[in-house]
Amino acid sequence: MGKAQRSTDYNPAEHPRTATDKAFRYSLYIKGLDGVLETLGGILLLLVNPAEINHFARWLTQSELSSDPHDWLANHILKTAHSLTGKALIFGAIYLLAQGIVKIVLVWQVLHDRIWAYLALITVVGLFAIYQIYRLAWVKFSVSLFLLTVFDLLIIYLTQREYRNHRNRLHSA
């Protein structure tokens, strides 16, 4: 590959040398897997009708609710399944597909050391984090969304750090 595409001979995502490089690589793999799962979830939402989703949610939570009718998780699953109708279902599918595909493409490009992808990943994950913080602060707090936001902030930090290292290596070469 030419210099226009690859920024250096050393790519920490491919060959991690330090603990931070390893954290960067593994966080990219996790973010890429997250993108794949979101894409599959979006496709599934487009293919499965709301009645099937509700049936699956009832089947999934049936035994738990029979022993504890106030189980928070089981009731949350049922409530979420019942809310997935019409426009909410389409919005959810498009949102998951778009978010998943963007993550897959950007992670793939960063893993292949495309310098532009570092900045794009920082920007996109940053926008998602801003939206997640808004939801946490003004819509409804969720431990899982909080943990996802913390992970996204870690991805931003590690990606920014690696981007800065690339720039320093380019200027010293």
Q: What pLDDT digit, counting tens, does each position of 104-117 carry?
A: 999 999 999 899 99
Residue of 110, 115, 111 whose CA lies nearest to 8? 115
Q: What stretch of H or E contains 80?
A: helix 72-83
pTM score = 0.76
Closest CA to 124 of 37, 40, 31, 12: 31
- Give burial (CB, 10 Å; 0-12/13-18/19+) of 173: exposed
pLDDT in tens, 43-89: 998 998 888 888 988 999 998 888 888 888 888 888 888 887 788 88
pLDDT tens-digit map of 16-34: 678 888 899 999 999 999 9
For residue 99, the Cα-to-chain-centroid distance in whole angstroms is: 7
Average the pLDDT over each of 20-29, 86-95, 124-133, 145-154 and give the range with the smallest value: 86-95
